[in-house]
A and B are shown apart, each in its own frame.
Chain A
């Protein structure tokens, strides 16, 4: 795009000089905004001019000139017959064909129509006015083959982006390249949240949360290996290239973009109110043989109790401001912007804010030399509550309705505590959310600087240095506290405050040089070639410090105020480096046949000498069928038809530094520093290789009214890198949630995972009237994920921590099935007759590890009694058969966008959906467990099986956690299918003629509703849960995940 623009600038020096008719006029866009720099030429004559700063032009038309041609980048070229007119004003329309858009392909760019690989692009206008805080979230439903799920609805939280399925266990997030700066999507290095204690919580952070989406010009997703091979070993999960905005020639523009939104929780779970809870507690007490609580003797007289969901969820505001100034003059263009974003969480205690600064300058210094820079500085501040199974939502759902949030005196309340006993319920979730400090302050500076030297018309050298520098300060402060119900001893008390800080710095730099050659031989042979060299290094270093015992109180939370004898220090530190050589040739014949061939050689420090080097070739060919003579007769119907075929290999080296050897890690012991043998080594560990095949068809039909692409792919990763799970008897294993001292299993190259799929995107311009336009875009993606081999290793088990402490195996990744397939028992039914019970007495179940016995004592964990679950495949007391219970991957995902324009109004309706996957409602391990006192349950659980309620599908209460009824079974699986009304937006463009009165070029107002409704059968809070800590074996496990809020937004975009 820059090159085209420059050529325009240079052409402007050729002024029309021949005397003739003078035609004047103004060129505007379809909104009436004047267009400076538009080219006006006379058809068939070497005369051209460009419009001035106000969009005005004046051209001398030589005798014989009959037609004026108006062109402007991104707009349809328009021809106007001169006739007798002397003033010709035109309004150019936005390009209706995507063929001329520029696509960034990695170390270069290409016109969309010339691309041979599978690349999906999203431009600024596709995501404009979608009030999302982060770019990855905006990609959702916008590009075929890209599955985007928010791992949490919390402010600033990480998102999972999977391109064409999951092909690796070491992270399946793509590589992001932002103006040349590569950022690994898989969280690594230093920046992460700290945690106050044990438990399973999200600690990964979003690599993109710090960018202001308003600064983005385009996003190009390189999907197949023929496109990504140029990124070699960094591209196994695809590449997302993000290009920021640049200034355009002409007068400076000032843009102000603002939106304000109100977020709220759209769905609540029906848990028991106090009378229901009291009734349940009474019957549980009877069942478990403990006394009833006196205060519950008559549940009917009790009030509704505390609604804990109301106590933790809130309506929360968010707002975004971006001010940008851009323009260009004298061969220099610039874009500078500043942004502020602030978001409170819909759960108390969560918030996120961000300041962003961005600048881009490009200058053609000499006719042979161009330089440019892009630079961002951002800071974000994130505050989180505790998450998932130890977190606020989890505790709020289980919190007993007889406990208050606050005591009458304003202090935090807690469940009643019998003297010397345990409190009759869990901690106060509101106290947890508000009292504990858990923050992450991140500062980031990112920049690139390049110079282009043009040796000849055809040969250019591009040199570029990029850097990305992150500093973060994660901090957890657990204050002293003491709280309890009025009249009982404090249930929860802490006299020792604890501060944990983690200051990390991550530094990344790369340097790339490439020579580019571009020449047309004869008239039809176009060759573009590139050879290059790149080197990068990524280092991280952090200081981890803990101290305790703040005699000065809870207000000042700094390390120097703790008791020094309690200090504990750590310093995570490491680095990775890579050197690469790259080459690419693109050859096109007659605009019909095209070939792209690439190769890359990578050398990575993550492997032992002798295993460091890998080669990653790729090739793609295309045939533009519509250019063939035999298509000429129908080229009004079929405007463009192009067939693409690609093949390539890419790799993955994303493992821990020095995983090939064995480290000796320092560990604190009572005898001084101890040294722990850290891991099994594997000196032979090397590249993972992904082989990808792609066939695609691009088309435009019916006078470009309908265009689209269809791609089918086969992506197979071989010898993938993963940490081979080992049984605990070889290297030890996690005990009481601590894995300190465990000898970690080795990283190995093993197995084969295949993703096959089909995806398409179609845009139809249904109505193209002057006043009314309607277009529809449909995006569809389907893939099947299959593990072809684990190299003889047994299945990989994924486990969740289901609160209360139990670690429950829930997924199993085995040959023939998908990654992270749910696995467990299948329910036959409820044991509801004496005959069934007697059958079980002779055929004992064995789902908890010891064969069940028929008993009348309901406190026996492996006993079976009327009202218990019976599982399928009971085989005489041997372990019962476990089954693959379902696939977390959807059968397909889809999105539909309808856009309507009527005069100055536009309306878009955007729906996204997912069909066919399963979701594990892991909250129900507790919420419907009926296995203990003092925790609330779903209201529906009260309808459990009793002899007088024989048709219930909910088993009768059983004491003890992990009893027969709460093992992993299809009871907890639900359909994850959903259709989300993701966004409805109504915009109004103040007509330019009015905008002028307030000295503005454009004024746009919009109102938008996001996540307005979710059509789903899922009974939990939100059917879209992503992967836990980006772990592919724990997809679609809802363990108290922060649900995505509903947001109503009002926005304004003004251009001066």
Chain B
């Protein structure tokens, strides 16, 4: 026996190998800490939560500097020193080109939204079992269609012709040959998406943060308006108004103010139609970073950030003052001496220093600046707050309605902008434009010109990501020349100031700087990183196949 023990042990060991020889399961290792396409979308809560992503992280690269640089620096609402911000300084003189970091962020981020929407649209219908009600599935698909359209709306306005992508896996092997599609096709595509969303999204849910059917109608109205399809724009705007889902804070909703729109505690208020939904908890990439970019200093944010990288131009400040608009001025721009009780509450509210001057503008940005963690129930952090960013709010619908009515009467013809002197005294149009003015504490108008309307839009949405696109379309849908816009921009002083001294700091001298973009500079070139991967992006667009 003793002699054989080694054989027994040896054979035992080898039998051990044979019997434990790995079973199939040993090699089946799906992710241990996340679901897969095959295992998700199985219950109603899973399908409902599947759309959350479309409101958050994918927008991040657009939300911060891109959002502001494009709409505010290019439009002349804001200025910065060219040499002091490497990421978007070039936007202040229209030289952002195709390699400035923010140009890449804009493109990448908006296509990330589209990619997530496409993933949902392509996977959900086949993955969801019959036990999930069709209405739940369709609502989720509607949200995805809407968000995809929202991203394309920014893309087409910023970059012009871009590729329409619905099934990216089909192009994984052939991406280097994907062409762009013409602007008109992209508008057609967005309308199809939004019509789907309008038909399938649950009505009346926008206050949950998720878009509703009327949110889709609102965005559709705006798309039609850009296309100068005033009839449909008016029809869709009225759908929103008639839905009764939304209201203006301080007009339809008593007790609240314009300034409340941009505070975290009023996220998803009655005026919010489509908004990015941020969280400060997960830090950079998941929270709203706007405050860190624009706040005057780190006393306001309390989190070490607050870089004052943009300052409101003297031109914008003057526009508020000329209109006698104190309400919106206070909610948009911090002027020296202004008091904000909601910021830095621990010290009794924040008083803007008399010598405050972001980028030489003798002022600072207020909109989307929310204050310290203590002011906001700890919903702010370094480069991240939980404050929403509006993609669309209800005031826009009122102004769309007014513009559509004006457009129908002015009838400028396709491709031509409404004459800036064209006026309307249509009572419905006046009613809506005056509701917006009423909140701003301004007197009611008895008639308004197209120029008045654009000015109203500027003040209502200043530093909120809109004015540049108004200037871009003022000469007509998809116009390659921009004489009216260039004339307006030509009057906008983008200069800084110097010479302010104690004690009042009001004795500064304003430099006058006027920079007028060329027609070509109304479109930003597609980022070089993607052009290198796909040279067709800089070739003429190809008609999109809608079949």
Which residues of A in the span 728-767 have a Cβ within 8 Å of any Cβ on B? 728-743, 745-746
A420 x B296 contact (CB < 8 A): yes
25 A-B pairs within 8 Å (CB atoms) are namely A291-B498, A420-B296, A461-B13, A481-B304, A493-B298, A546-B281, A546-B283, A573-B32, A577-B27, A579-B22, A605-B26, A609-B24, A658-B29, A658-B36, A667-B52, A669-B53, A670-B278, A676-B116, A729-B175, A729-B178, A740-B58, A742-B58, A742-B112, A794-B533, A799-B529
Bound Cα distance A176, B58 (Å): 39
For the complex of A and B, list the 7 residue pairs with the smallest distance between their C-beta atoms, beginning with the closest: A735-B61, A732-B112, A849-B98, A494-B304, A961-B86, A670-B277, A733-B108
Q: Could you tell me how many residues of chain B have their Cβ less than 8 Å away from some Cβ of chain A?
A: 140
Check if A174 is an interface residue, CB within 8 A of chain B: no
Which of A132-140, A707-715, A777-785, A859-867 forms contacts with chain B? A859-867
Using A605-B27, A605-B29, A661-B36 as known contacts, say yes or no to A740 and B57 having CB atoms under 8 A apart.
yes
Check if B126 is an interface residue, CB within 8 A of chain A: no
Bound Cα distance A673, B277 (Å): 11
B26 x A670 contact (CB < 8 A): no
Bound Cα distance A740, B61 (Å): 10
Check if A994 is an interface residue, CB within 8 A of chain B: no
Q: Which residues of the partner chain A approach B255 to less than 8 Å between Cβ atoms?
A: none
B111 x A670 contact (CB < 8 A): no
Using A422-B84, A565-B377 as known contacts, say yes or no to A805 and B101 having CB atoms under 8 A apart.
yes
Bound Cα distance A733, B114 (Å): 11
Q: What are the interface flags for A512-523 relative to B under an 8 Å C-beta threshold, 1 for contact and 0 otherwise?
A: 010100000000
Bound Cα distance A481, B6 (Å): 69
A496 x B175 contact (CB < 8 A): no
A733 x B60 contact (CB < 8 A): no
If A667-B282, A670-B277, A733-B112 are given as contacts, then 16 extra A-B residue pairs at C-beta distance below 8 Å, sorted by A number, are A420-B357, A454-B6, A489-B299, A533-B17, A579-B22, A609-B24, A676-B58, A725-B533, A728-B108, A729-B163, A733-B107, A736-B61, A737-B285, A738-B57, A849-B99, A861-B93
B17 x A513 contact (CB < 8 A): yes
Could you list which residues of chain A lie within 8 angstroms of chain B, going by C-beta atoms?
A: 197-198, 284, 288, 290-291, 366, 368-369, 418-422, 453-455, 461, 463, 478, 481, 489-490, 492-496, 498, 513, 515, 533, 535, 537, 541, 546, 548-549, 563, 565-568, 571-577, 579, 603-606, 609, 612, 657-658, 661-678, 680-681, 724-743, 745-746, 792, 794-795, 797, 799, 804-807, 809, 848-850, 859-863, 931-934, 959-962, 967
A736 x B32 contact (CB < 8 A): no
A962 x B298 contact (CB < 8 A): no
A730 x B165 contact (CB < 8 A): yes
Tell which of A665, A680, A809 touches B529, judged by Cβ atoms closer than 8 Å. Answer: A809
A420 x B356 contact (CB < 8 A): yes
A849 x B97 contact (CB < 8 A): yes
Q: Which residues of the partner chain B approach A579 to less than 8 Å between Cβ atoms?
A: 21-22, 26-27
Using A603-B22, A661-B30, A726-B533 as known contacts, say yes or no to A674 and B56 having CB atoms under 8 A apart.
yes
Bound Cα distance A73, B377 (Å): 74
B162 x A735 contact (CB < 8 A): no
Tell which of B17, B93, B302, B498 touches A495, judged by Cβ atoms closer than 8 Å. Answer: B302
Check if B266 is an interface residue, CB within 8 A of chain A: no
Q: What are the interface flags for B206-240 relative to A under an 8 Å C-beta threshold, 1 for contact and 0 otherwise?
A: 00111000000000000000000000000000000
Closest to B46 in A: A675
Check if B7 is an interface residue, CB within 8 A of chain A: yes
Closest to A546 in B: B283
Q: Which residues of the partner chain B approach A489 to less than 8 Å between Cβ atoms?
A: 297, 299
Q: What are the interface flags for B26-56 relative to A under an 8 Å C-beta threshold, 1 for contact and 0 otherwise?
A: 1111111111111110000010011011011
Using A419-B355, A574-B33, A604-B27 as known contacts, say yes or no to A495 and B57 having CB atoms under 8 A apart.
no
Q: Which residues of the partner chain A approach B169 to less than 8 Å between Cβ atoms?
A: 680
B95 x A288 contact (CB < 8 A): no
Find the residue from B65, B112, B277 having the highest chain A CB count within 10 A: B112
Tell which of B35, B102, B103, B532 touches A663, judged by Cβ atoms closer than 8 Å. Answer: B35
Check if B484 is an interface residue, CB within 8 A of chain A: no
Tell which of A455, A478, A849 touches B10, judged by Cβ atoms closer than 8 Å. Answer: A455
Q: Which residues of the partner chain B approach A863 to less than 8 Å between Cβ atoms?
A: 95
Chain B nearest CB, measured from A505 CB (Å): 13
Tell which of A498, A563, A734, A967 touches B108, judged by Cβ atoms closer than 8 Å. Answer: A734
Which of B380-388, B407-415, B422-430, B441-449 forms contacts with chain A? B380-388
A735 x B108 contact (CB < 8 A): yes
Q: Which residues of the partner chain A approach B364 to less than 8 Å between Cβ atoms?
A: 420
A549 x B532 contact (CB < 8 A): no
Chain B nearest CB, measured from A194 CB (Å): 11
B37 x A661 contact (CB < 8 A): yes
Bound Cα distance A331, B113 (Å): 69
Check if B186 is an interface residue, CB within 8 A of chain A: no
Bound Cα distance A738, B450 (Å): 40
Bound Cα distance A604, B27 (Å): 7
Q: Which residues of the partner chain A approach B356 to less than 8 Å between Cβ atoms?
A: 419-420
Tell which of A291, A563, A738 touches B378, judged by Cβ atoms closer than 8 Å. Answer: A563
Q: Which residues of the partner chain A approach B104 to less than 8 Å between Cβ atoms?
A: 728, 733, 735, 807
Q: Which residues of the partner chain B approach A490 to less than 8 Å between Cβ atoms?
A: 298
Bound Cα distance A368, B173 (Å): 60
Which residues of B in the span 115-166 have a Cβ within 8 Å of any Cβ on A? 115-116, 119-120, 123, 162-163, 165
B84 x A932 contact (CB < 8 A): yes
Tell which of B17, B39, B100, B304 touches A493, judged by Cβ atoms closer than 8 Å. Answer: B304
Tell which of A478, A664, A674, A741 touches B36, judged by Cβ atoms closer than 8 Å. Answer: A664
Chain A nearest CB, measured from B19 CB (Å): 12
Using A422-B84, A493-B297 as known contacts, say yes or no to A735 and B60 having CB atoms under 8 A apart.
yes
Q: Which residues of the partner chain B approach A735 to less than 8 Å between Cβ atoms?
A: 60-62, 66, 104-106, 108-109, 112
Closest to A807 in B: B101
A662 x B36 contact (CB < 8 A): yes
A729 x B162 contact (CB < 8 A): yes
Using A419-B356, A676-B57, A850-B98 as known contacts, say yes or no to A732 and B308 having CB atoms under 8 A apart.
no
Chain A nearest CB, measured from B538 CB (Å): 9
Tell which of A420, A481, A678, A932 touches B297, judged by Cβ atoms closer than 8 Å. Answer: A420
Bound Cα distance A13, B492 (Å): 104
Q: Which residues of the partner chain B approach A746 to less than 8 Å between Cβ atoms?
A: 172
Using A494-B382, A727-B534 as known contacts, say yes or no to A671 and B210 having CB atoms under 8 A apart.
yes
Bound Cα distance A575, B26 (Å): 10
Bound Cα distance A161, B493 (Å): 58
Q: Which residues of the partner chain A approach B106 to less than 8 Å between Cβ atoms?
A: 735
Bound Cα distance A198, B64 (Å): 14
Closest to A669 in B: B56
B82 x A960 contact (CB < 8 A): yes
Bound Cα distance A129, B355 (Å): 64
Bound Cα distance A419, B279 (Å): 31
Using A420-B296, A496-B302 as known contacts, say yes or no to A453 and B382 having CB atoms under 8 A apart.
no
Q: Which residues of the partner chain B approach A198 to less than 8 Å between Cβ atoms?
A: 284
B115 x A731 contact (CB < 8 A): yes
Check if B176 is an interface residue, CB within 8 A of chain A: yes
B115 x A730 contact (CB < 8 A): yes
Q: Which residues of the partner chain B approach A726 to less than 8 Å between Cβ atoms?
A: 172, 175, 533
A806 x B87 contact (CB < 8 A): yes
Check if B303 is an interface residue, CB within 8 A of chain A: yes
Bound Cα distance A541, B31 (Å): 12
Q: Which residues of the partner chain B approach A612 to less than 8 Å between Cβ atoms?
A: 27
Closest to A419 in B: B355
Closest to B64 in A: A736
Check if B291 is an interface residue, CB within 8 A of chain A: no
Which residues of B in the span 63-95 have a Cβ within 8 Å of any Cβ on A? 64-66, 81-84, 86-87, 89-90, 93, 95
Check if B341 is an interface residue, CB within 8 A of chain A: no
Bound Cα distance A675, B171 (Å): 24
Q: Which residues of the partner chain B approach A848 to less than 8 Å between Cβ atoms?
A: 95, 97-99
Q: What are the interface flags for B315-329 relative to A under an 8 Å C-beta threshold, 1 for contact and 0 otherwise?
A: 000000000000000
A571 x B33 contact (CB < 8 A): yes
A933 x B378 contact (CB < 8 A): no
Using A743-B115, A931-B83 as known contacts, say yes or no to A495 and B13 having CB atoms under 8 A apart.
no
